[in-house]
Chains A and B, each alone.
Chain A
Amino acid sequence: MNASGTFASLRSRLLATAERRLPALTRLKQAEALPITLHRHRIYVLPTRFGLLFSAVLLVMLLGALNYNNNPALLLTCLLGAACFQSVFQAFRTLNGVELRSLQAEPCHAGDVLYFTLTFRGPGRPRYSLRAGVDAVETLFDMEAGNDTRVRVGVPAPQRGWQRSGHVRLYCEYPFGLFQVWSWLSPDFSALVYPRREDPSVPLPRTNDDAAALPMRRTGDEFAMLRDYHPSDARRAIAWKASARHDALLVKEFEQRRGREIVLDWDATSALSHEARISRLTRWVDDAEALRHGYLLQLPDQRVGPGLGGDHRHACLRALALLPGVVR
């Protein structure tokens, strides 16, 4: 193992120990409910590498001034040093009072980037040059006084299923980049990551022939309109509430698709491995959506649809995403 590798493993082991021993200080903090407000108990400060370099320069300046017994030079050095040190307070002020108000996630497939939208608010004063980072990804943003600021942070989503928002590291090196002030936020929030889509796509299966056997109301989930009651209409199609308002019987009319729906059947993909089957079904769901063709998802122990549209797609993808791992 080379030197840098040894160093890296040592570092990660140290970090792990630190997190076990000092949970309040590090990322192992318990997940918290929103909103999360930053205050002095959870804001930490350390000099940056540049800060250390700068303090070395200041030290040399100080020694020079003292050695030559040159008071103006000493005054200059003191002024610079005090201004730099004082920047800690400015940095702290930037984070102090910042509030994480809400957190939203955008839908994404495994292997893509999962985008979180964090909404921050900082009362009282504008704040500049903050960075929010999840894992190694970070975003730079400024905050207006009192107004909500939305920050979009993208993290890789390697696996389908629920993904924790993780620990958000909010930090800033404002004003001079000499000190880093940071805090860990652990919002109690998870986002659903849809399964990976198979690529390239495989043609969709043929339409289901015995779809006619399904009851009428199953022909579409998408509500289209209300119409007057005809004696031939099924009783369960009557919209009772609406009828009561209008003093006449009304019937919910569902959109009638042109073809019949496609059945996306789990068992039809048995030649593939477990995850690959999920990927293919996911792909088919999206392809059917793109064709605007109704579809039905048939999984080992559940059946979604048939239907078409955003809600249906979400229901299918959710079911696929939450399928248990390899079945033995």
Chain B
Amino acid sequence: MLTAASVTAAVLPHLLRLPTSFSLLIVGLLIGRVIQRRLGGARIPTVLKLPLVLLVPVLVVIHYGNVFGREPGSALACAMLALKLIETESRRDARAAIAFSCFVLMSALLFDNSMGLTLMLCAALTLFLATLLQLELQPADSARPHAWRAGLGRALRSAAVSLLTAIPLTLCVFIFLPRLGSPLWGAPTDTSVARSGLGDSMDPASVQELLIDDSPAFRVSFDGTVPDRSKLYWRGPVLTRFDGQVWSRVNHVGEKQARDPLGQTADVVDYEITLEPSDRRWLLALDVPLHAPENAVRGADMSLVATRPVDQLLRYRASSALRYELGAQLGERERLRDLAIPAGLNPRARARAAQWRKDLGDDNAVIHAALALFHDNAFFYSLAAPELGRDAVDDFLFETRKGFCQHYSSSFTFLMRAAGIPARVVTGYQGGYFNSVGNYLVVRQSDAHAWSEVWLEGRGWVRVDPTGAVSPQRVELGARAAAGASASWYQANWVLALRNRFDLVNRAWNSLIVQFNALRQQSLLTPFGIDKAEYYDLVRVLIGSSMLVLALYCWWVLRRPRDRGDTLDAAYARLCRKLERIGLPRAANEGPVAFAIRVNDVAATPAVQSLIGRYVGLRYAHALPDTGAVRAFAGSVRALRVGGAFARIYRNGARGTR
């Protein structure tokens, strides 16, 4: 039964991740087994087990194509573990199931290494150890179900104690165990798990998904002061191609960068970013990065692209200029590309843009006219945007007028291009929450944003944020505040504050545990004069520190226990101590009967007399006194009060005899 609970605990973290058919199969097996055990069922015949065992690998191959690798492997392990439970009859089976459960439990961490999950799984180990303990204490547990239940609490407690006392040794090993610089076998690249983050295309649905996702995207520590919130535009992918519905990115990899497009720069800030894994290659940087970090390139559009997908926490330094001059010269090819709009779509928007161009002429005036269109008409910022039709820009500009950054930047850029001004959409994040306790800025997925850049003769690329024209709060306070109406109880301020506290803990977890790699381990011994700890240095320290901890354990184990005799003698000793406190010490050569007579001479107290009498009876009448009677005696001794009136009797008596 407990084994079933342990197996369930091991499989649980996997269930949500596995395909539905698998989860159903496993849950079905577990429940079926528990019911069968309740009904006192016998062994399950091989005829039933064998097809199930064969079915599992087939299912895995159908789902994943093969049985190797992290994903299919864990699916296979989970199903096999559930099957193992089905055939678990003896203690040996149960132990094997537990050992296997440990492995499955650990594999859950390969997919999600958040602090919460880790702590939960460590707690789950308590259950495993308690199971092993129960298996050891009651090999035939089915025969004594009541004793079994009574022992459960004790087993859980002592398992927890075992885990707690193991912590020092754990830390020694964890810190000093040499990490592998490079993996032994296939690097974990088979991540088909979808992680949220910016994509290289933009459509309303994907952005909306980001805007309601509260997980952190990255954290920033600034070297100096944090720039004003309205300047915190984190640049991500730049999108230039529009097909009428979706903005997408043109691959710049082949593009030769003739010269640095950056002109004059000012207001340079330095900072360090810790990027959450996204499985994508974008690196985020404040507009506009001065150079690319290690293992990354900066494209002509100033977006940073890493050489390989970010599949674990990535930390990098960057410096950016808040005021800059970008792309003073625009090549003919780029100009054409940044003016292209799909033919035949959105006729009303085209007509409006052409009219502006004709009436106003000047680029600046056209931009202002477009912003005024957003500002002066009844446009709303809302995360609940209505569906748009084939002419998406027309529908939005002239019909629904309700949307979020994606809609505004998309239609604005379309209008600009229609009016003959080169324009593009920039996606990224805007703002962030400053955590004053940890002195860093956390940017969440929900801070995702899209804005526009237009190219003006003589000024280069200039950022225009049409969303700001409609809803200045979006830039000032964030998407959540701007959406205002949709705020619910869980977005209350105190919850936000709590969440940001929690984020601090998460950050500590990330930097201390998750990020602890071979490099940081090498610098661990720097305070002790070893600049770059080699493999054997670490092993030496590992052995040394473990020995220290083990010595501590040895001391604990070899301490001589205080021998207070059995329960009966201990209780009698207690009685004597009580009498000693009121001036009646038992002489070393005095047996209980002689002592009782002497006590009686001083003052007759039947309570003490009867207690000593009971002791004599228990101690000398039987070879092995009845445990119940001994316990009752100990209880009576404990209950005996010798203070106050009692002591007075003795003192008076003692005076009388003198």
Contacts and interface: CB of A to CB of B under 8 A. Distances in A.
Interface in A109-128: 121, 123-125, 128
Nearest to B128: A80
* B136, B137, B183 pick with most chain A CB within 10 angstroms: B136
B145 interface: no
A71 B514 contact: yes
A76 B167 CA distance: 11
A71 B516 contact: yes
A40 interface: yes
Contact of B113 (A57, A70, A174): A70
Contact of B185 (A58, A61, A67): A67
Interface stretch (B209-217, B224-232, B283-291, B553-561): B553-561
Nearest to B563: A123
B557 A76 contact: no
Interface string B114-131: 010110011001001100
B125 A83 contact: yes
A53 interface: yes
Contact of B95 (A50, A60, A68, A69): A50
A151 B519 CA distance: 58
Contacts of B564: 123, 146
Interface string B94-121: 0110011011011101100101011001
Given A57-B99, A83-B125, A146 B110 contact: no
**Secondary structure call for the A interface:** helix
Main secondary structure of the interface of B (DSSP, over half): helix
A96 B561 CA distance: 10
A73 interface: yes
B627 to A, nearest CB: 7
Interface in A50-100: 50, 53-54, 57-58, 60-61, 63-83, 85-87, 89-90, 92-93, 96-97
Contacts of B162: 83, 86-87, 90, 175
A73 B139 CA distance: 31
B389 interface: no
B132 A75 contact: no
A176 B166 contact: no
A129 to B, nearest CB: 5
Contacts of A97: 560-561
A69 B179 contact: yes
A53 B99 contact: yes
B180 A75 contact: no
Nearest to A104: B623
B561 A72 contact: no
B14 to A, nearest CB: 14
B557 A66 contact: no
Nearest to A147: B566
A72 B118 contact: yes
Contact of A69 (B137, B180, B563): B180
A146 B570 contact: yes
B163 interface: yes
A94 to B, nearest CB: 10
Interface residues of B, number: 70
B106 A128 contact: no
A160 B648 CA distance: 67
Contact of B137 (A80, A85, A128, A147): A128
B180 A150 contact: no
Contacts of B636: none
A158 interface: no
A284 to B, nearest CB: 34
Interface in A216-262: none
Contacts of A72: 109, 113, 115, 117-118, 513-514
Contact of A81 (B173, B516, B557): B173
Nearest to B121: A76
Contact of B103 (A61, A81, A140, A178): A61
A54 B98 CA distance: 9
A119 B117 CA distance: 49
B64 interface: no
Given A64-B107, A69-B517, A72-B514, A123 B561 contact: yes
B136 A173 contact: yes
Given A76-B109, A175-B158, A176-B132, A124 B163 contact: no
Given A63-B184, A69-B312, A146 B563 contact: yes
Interface in B365-417: none
B177 interface: yes
B169 A53 contact: no
B133 interface: yes
A166 interface: no
A156 interface: no
A148 interface: yes
B313 to A, nearest CB: 10
B232 to A, nearest CB: 31
Given A78-B174, A79-B167, A57 B125 contact: no
Interface string A3-32: 000000000000000000000000000000
Contact of B163 (A60, A79, A96, A123): A79
A177 B180 contact: no
Contacts of B128: 80
Contacts of B517: 69
Q: Which 7 A-B pairs give the minimum distances between C-beta atoms?
A: A124-B561, A82-B166, A82-B169, A123-B563, A83-B166, A73-B109, A176-B132
28 contacts: A40-B558, A50-B99, A64-B110, A65-B109, A68-B70, A69-B312, A70-B110, A71-B113, A71-B174, A73-B106, A73-B107, A73-B109, A74-B177, A76-B118, A79-B163, A80-B128, A82-B166, A83-B129, A83-B163, A86-B162, A86-B169, A92-B557, A123-B563, A124-B562, A125-B561, A129-B137, A144-B567, A175-B129
